[in-house]
């Protein structure tokens, strides 16, 4: 099956038959583009343990946040899981990814609304700021960051734009309890958590998050600090997928952080 899929996509790539609607492993759909991230996500068992974990812990009626929505792989999954009684807010500041995110929502017959599925076109950080420098590597917009672009994608042309930033404690003041957060924002995870102290203390959401030195070091801290921050707030850490280098003090993994007390 993998050989057939790779052959099919290679043929489409050569014939430039993109974008192409493609079935997602959890039952949704996403447009396939001829960029590295799209192909990796959709063809090579993208974060299988992660999305299966999300599917197990998110249920109808929940209030979920998707920080770093990109093209909507998890936004679509969360919207399907919470159903019409739940709510999802997806945060994505990069304009190209926003366009693709909205196309993928339509592809899955999902409509934006303030009540059930909202897209917020800003960064998430420790504090509200009117404009923050945001670096976008052309051709790999999913690797956009407030920090220096990692060496593995630094050879690409990088565009620097200015984007607004919110913090979650101030932005979410409706009184509705946050049940689940997915965070993958290329090194800005610590700032987002620091800006959500009240939510972590009062709501005690389950968190699924990327923990990667390749991104956090470009922002000025080691990835392990994310785990220490959550453990200090009485969260238990579970490793869902580990892509680090054995024998080296180098973290690159997907984790779940579960509150020890509610």
Residue 9 is assigned to a structural domain of this protein? no
Domain holding 179: CATH number?
3.40.50.150
For helices 95-107 and 73-82, angle between their N-to-C axes, nearest 10 degrees: 40
pLDDT at 50 over 90: yes
In angstroms, the CA 185 to CA 94 distance is 11
Adjacent-strand bridge partners of 148: none
pLDDT at 256 over 70: yes
pLDDT bucket at 42, cuts 50 / 70 / 90:
low
In angstroms, the CA 39 to CA 158 distance is 21
Residue 7 is assigned to a structural domain of this protein? no
Adjacent-strand bridge partners of 207: 181, 257
pLDDT in tens, 194-241: 999 999 999 999 999 999 998 898 889 999 999 999 999 999 999 998
> Using only C-alpha atoms, what is the Rg of the chain?
18
First to last CA, the chain: 44
pLDDT at 22 over 90: no
**pLDDT for the residue numbered 130:** 83
Please answer whether residues 176 and 170 qualify as being in contact, where contact means their C-beta atoms are separated by less than 8 angstroms: no
Cis, bond preceding 19 (omega within 30 deg of 0): yes
Question: What is the total count of domains within the chain?
Answer: 1
pLDDT at 135 over 80: no
Which residues form the domain of 133?
57-259
């Amino acid at each position: 099956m993998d050989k057939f899929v790779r052959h099919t996509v290679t043929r489409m790539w050569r014939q430039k038959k993109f974008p192409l609607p493609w079935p997602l492993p959890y039952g949704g759909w996403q447009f396939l583009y001829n960029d590295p991230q799209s192909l990796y996500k959709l063809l090579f068992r993208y974060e299988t343990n992660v999305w299966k974990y999300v599917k197990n812990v998110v249920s109808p009626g929940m209030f979920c946040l998707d920080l770093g929505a990109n093209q909507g792989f998890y936004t679509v999954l969360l919207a399907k899981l919470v159903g019409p009684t739940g709510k999802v807010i997806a945060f994505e500041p990069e304009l190209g990814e926003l366009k693709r995110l909205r196309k993928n929502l339509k592809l899955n017959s999902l409509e934006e609304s303030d009540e059930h599925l909202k897209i917020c076109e800003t960064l998430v950080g420790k504090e509200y700021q009117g404009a923050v420098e945001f670096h976008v590597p052309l051709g790999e917009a999913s690797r956009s960051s407030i920090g220096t672009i990692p060496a593995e994608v630094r050879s690409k042309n990088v565009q620097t734009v200015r984007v607004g930033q919110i913090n979650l404690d101030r932005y979410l003041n409706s009184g509705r309890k946050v049940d689940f957060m997915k965070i993958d924002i290329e090194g800005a995870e610590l700032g987002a958590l620091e800006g959500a102290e009240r939510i972590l203390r009062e709501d005690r959401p389950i968190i699924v998050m990327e923990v990667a030195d390749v991104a956090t070091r470009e922002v000025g801290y080691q990835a392990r600090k994310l785990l220490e921050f959550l453990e200090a707030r009485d969260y238990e850490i579970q490793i869902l997928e580990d892509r680090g280098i054995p024998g080296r003090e180098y973290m690159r993994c997907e984790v779940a952080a579960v509150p020890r007390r509610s």
